[in-house]
Structure 1
């Protein structure tokens, strides 16, 4: 059996396995579509492997171009390609260069990848019934990033679906001056096992791990970021749908909100519970899925000429971690007020400080630099991914947080539900710091039994030429969460988390001092 066919069969089995476990659904009539066919698309001296499916009847149809995710191939979208073809689309999904059986080396959404996307569009126009005036690009993760960047370089792309994608790759790697360890490690492992990373990517990942040549890695990542090319995207004015998860550990959603605000064409932002690419997962297996339904409505509206109503709906749709979906006209409209919770002095009895009221002075709390606690952000993909299916946030028993290793501040228990909506922001004063260092902040929902469910968290680092006193202003991960009546909003600060590299010297300490506070956006 030919290698291509073996690869195809293996991928099909992996993709269709969930369908074998799913309950059966009644068959429904759908327009006839062509059988899935494979294509080799020459581009820039390499051959890209692709699959094609479209309506069986000849005509002129909108096209959906779908680059595959990091580590996957063109068969990733088999179920959705068939669904879109049944809606009247030509669908060409392809494996970007350097992955699986496509030629060349991984370009990480660089100029070669963007040229390839345009070449795939050329090929679709020459070899299918695709309408040149109705071209869309969409994908999950890597495919999302390539699609959005491609909308800035190729004006033929009139609609984009950015599913679990990034807008600022440098932020994804170095957000708040802290290297995101587990996410980068997994990207490197996938590239080594399933692709051809080449010298450029290998060198950049090695530099990232070794914390060297940071400026060069940031420059490399920034050129591969839609935020850097926003003017070109706005000039082309595609209709952009961005869908992501609150707990995305690869591409944290804080990077999306400002970018979304600055988009000037038709746009929509959707945020749901989960982690990277988890919300789209069941749709890839052909099961009903909100994200893919939104993408179909979006493409129907802006490519197929069908009024689905999505263009008239509020531009922001969120599903909180523990509440029904909500819609808002803008990102800023999520919150109607901000409450400041001052950090107070630590009580001797239980080692906990008060969170609330005016920020007080005259106190301090020392944190050792190389001692972890049970407070953590969990495991990349797994922790927040499981929460998307179970509806339960990861939790710890708060009394188990070692107060000699962490600072803990708990708010008074409100008598009504507190609705957190947006990005909590921590202002923390530090003393006795080294020239470089890291702290990690966790915001919890604490019940009466001591169970603390994680609402959001974020690390913050600094890299300076001298130590001493300093102030950090940190945006925690964007969130939407209803704190139940009688529960306490609780902040934990420590210096180590397995999700991230820290830049703390061993056997040292960092001291949190008075005047620190937490601003929480509420509705």
Structure 2
């Protein structure tokens, strides 16, 4: 679809939205290759959901496949207009883009991916079958971000949904907002700001949000019924035989890639996974929103055409796992049959005293070194910025010599003369004697170039409470999964700091002195070239 044609489509659709936000029936507006209608459709318990319907021009002539495209967080119903238009004009789908309950013009209160959201999808399907000449045996759902979460819970709830495309879904809501018990500085705030002008929140959601933002409660969202959304959906998706296409961005700072990476292999249905550089939904966004050429949504449209329409387009014979290295935006994909096959077996590297800073030291070495808890230049990420720059090939490089070795532990490997590949989940295992009952640590793994500049490969925090001051404790935690090509002559550098205030809130008291001890190691999914 040309940019000119898409602009024309968007203008027509938005004009229709302004003129036809009424109860059904609403006048259909002709668009190139089809028709568009703005409407309210009934959701569960009688609420009305604002929707945009795009459909082929011959809607009444025969039964049509249906795809629901629920909106993202705080997004109006046209958030998937690009993919919706392609699905209706080239694949014959009736596409219903609808705004989730409690958002914009839709009724009710935000359900936070709960049972009412799932019931809404089923109600929209019922209405479409009754009113839009839809084939009840050819139904799909597709979305990004919150819409991807809605797609997962809807397909798990309703076996009529034969196929799903879910880009950047919230796999674990509690962990996304407070990873390893470490509150993010921007996650709950960004969600609140994105929804405060357009969403209607229940008292429960308001309470949770205030606890997270004002009271810095790391567990504010842990008790949501669908907290473990992806893990809870997979058994039902398997039971229904739903064909599932998942996608995620490596540097997603809002809804991290971890659950999609860790749980994908548990699907026993027809499945496909895309992992690409970028921040939240930036990898697939151009295809979903604008209908631009895009590997994720181009595959997603073919996926629905095959598993819903039965078109023999060969996608069922293509590689299951499709990985674009995190450091190579726009580069070639690595193809594997599973995430497990893509992962490299981890290698243990012993860490020396941070003063010496050796990654790959003598395991027999015994050491102890104090570290002051103060911020330094070791910054894991600037949320929504670092990943977006990485997608453009502009990932920022930090002069690692600027990291204050009194405030952050730094360990460096020898240069890899022929380069190396990291594929999998790095793990950090440290021994630390805290000076207070509360300790936060942030591990950051860098790709260090010969000039001493480092680009972030992977990072993740950990926070523990009720520690005994002065008593050594073990801290074992995983960094975010990654696929990264290390260039010849580059080395790996690991930093661990107790203060990284840009992305995370630290429970470590400022100015406190914590003692790092042996034995300490890092396990890296590494293969030297």
TM-score using structure 1 length: 0.90
Q: Distance in 1 between matches of 2:217 and 2:12?
A: 40
Task: Establish whether residue 508 from structure 1 lines up as the match of residue 516 from structure 2.
Answer: no
**2:314 aligned with 1:306:** no
CA-to-aligned-CA distance 1:24-55 (integer Å, 9 cap, x gap): xxxxxxx9643210111122232100011111
Distance 2:304 2:344 in 1: 32
State the secondary structure of the residue aligned to 2:280: coil
Give the Cα separation in 2 of the matches to 1:366 and 1:124.
Answer: 65
Q: Which residue does the alignment assign to 1:490?
A: 493
Moved more, 295-304 or 32-41: 32-41
Determine if contact 2:155/2:237 at 8 Å carries over to the other structure.
yes
What displacement does 1:216 show?
Answer: 6.3
Q: Which residue of 2 aligns with 1:67?
A: 70
Distance 2:496 2:86 in 1: 47
Cα distance in structure 2, aligned partners of 1:11 and 1:518: 53
Q: Quote the Cα distance in structure 2 between the aligned partners of 1:397 and 1:204.
A: 39
Aligned residue for 2:105?
101
Q: Are 2:181 and 2:219, in contact at CA under 8 Å, matched by a contact in 1?
A: no
Indicate conservation of the 8 Å contact 2:413/2:493, yes or no: yes
Decide whether the 8 Å contact of 1:342 with 1:360 is kept in 2. Answer: no
Q: 1:173 Cα shift?
A: 2.1
The residue matched to 1:85 in structure 2 has which SS?
Answer: helix
Q: Say yes or no: does 1:235 pair with 2:239.
A: yes
Specify whether residues 488 and 91 from structure 1 end up closer, same or farther in structure 2 by C-alpha distance, changes over 3 A only: same
Whether contact under 8 Å (1:455, 1:481) holds in the other structure is yes
**Shift, 1:402, TM fit:** 1.0
- Structure 2 equivalent of residue 42 of structure 1: 42
> Structure 1 residue 455 and structure 2 residue 457: aligned?
yes
User: 221-230 or 275-284: which moved more?
Assistant: 221-230
Shift of 1:281: 2.3
CA offset digits 1:123-162 (Å, max 9, x no partner): 1111213211111111010000010011111111111111
The corresponding residue for 2:350 is 342
CA distance in 1, matches of 2:141, 2:101: 17
Kindly report which structure 2 residues correspond to 1:121-270, keeping only aligned pairs within 5 A, or say none.
Answer: 121-210=125-214, 217-220=221-224, 222-223=226-227, 225-270=229-274
Contact 1:36 1:53 in 2 (8 A): yes
CA contact (8 A) 1:249 1:275 kept: yes
Q: Is the 8 A contact 1:159 1:238 kept in 2?
A: yes
In the aligned structure 1, how far is the partner of 2:236 from the partner of 2:354? 51
RMSD: 2.2
3-state SS, counterpart of residue 357 of structure 2: strand
Give, in angstroms, the shift of residue 222 of structure 1: 4.1
Whole-Å separation in 1 of the counterparts to 2:494 and 2:220: 35
SS in 2 for 1:304: coil
Q: How far apart in 1 are the matches of 2:217 and 2:434? A: 27
Q: Does the Cα contact within 8 Å between 1:207 and 1:217 map onto a contact in 2?
A: no
Identify the residue that residue 286 of structure 1 maps to in structure 2: 291
Q: SS of the counterpart of 2:109?
A: coil
Counterpart position of 1:424: 426
Offset from partner CA, 1:230-264 (integer Å, 9 cap, x none): 32232222111110000011111111223212112
- Distance in 2 (CA, whole Å) between partners of 1:432 and 1:82 is 57
- Structure 2 unaligned regions, length at least 5: 1-9, 18-30
More deviation, 298-307/504-513: 504-513
1:184 is paired with a residue whose SS is: helix
Matched positions, count: 494
1:51 and 2:52 correspond? yes
How far apart, CA to CA, are the structure 1 residues paired with 2:94 and 2:182?
43
Which sections of structure 1, spanning at least 5 residues, go unmatched?
A: 1-7, 16-30
438-447 or 200-209, which deviates more? 200-209
Secondary structure, counterpart of 2:281 in structure 1: coil
Superposition map of 1:328-339 within 5 A: 328-339=336-347
Assess, with a 3 A threshold, how the Cα gap between structure 1 residues 81 and 274 changes in structure 2: closer, same or farther: same
